[in-house]
Amino acid sequence: MEAYNTERATLLGRYIIESGATVRCAAKKFGVSKSTVHKDVTGRLRTLNPTLYAQVRRVLDRNKSERHIRGGIATREKYRGTVKNT
């Protein structure tokens, strides 16, 4: 089981870096919870691969700083009636 968690953490990290995905998007893509993604890329990845962790951290920090913008866009679309149910 530990080998699976290690591999998943690395795959999640690479996916987030390559796509710029949010934790929520990565969770949906890999079929795991947001908590699992967060634990893998911030906890496990830090000890497994510090270089990859630093790159993932930059993407996650950028996503966090932009989340209020995405939320505003989603709200605007909701009231325009053009929301996509994902």
86 occurs within a structural domain: no
DSSP string over 19-66: H---HHHHHHHHTS-HHHHHIIIIIIHHHH-HHHHHHHHHHHHHHHHH
42 occurs within a structural domain: yes
Count up the domains in the chain and report the number: 1
| Structure confidence at residue 13 (pLDDT) | 96
| Structure confidence at residue 34 (pLDDT) | 96
13 occurs within a structural domain: yes
| Structure confidence at residue 73 (pLDDT) | 79
| Structure confidence at residue 86 (pLDDT) | 56
Per-residue pLDDT for the chain (86 aa), expressed as one digit of tens each?
678 889 999 999 999 999 999 999 999 999 999 999 999 999 999 999 999 999 999 999 998 887 777 778 778 888 887 666 65
What is residue 86's three-state secondary structure? coil
Report the predicted TM-score, pTM, of the whole model to 2 decimal places.
0.78
Q: Which residues form the domain of 44?
A: 2-80
Contact (Cβ atoms closer than 8 angstroms) between residue 25 and residue 53: no
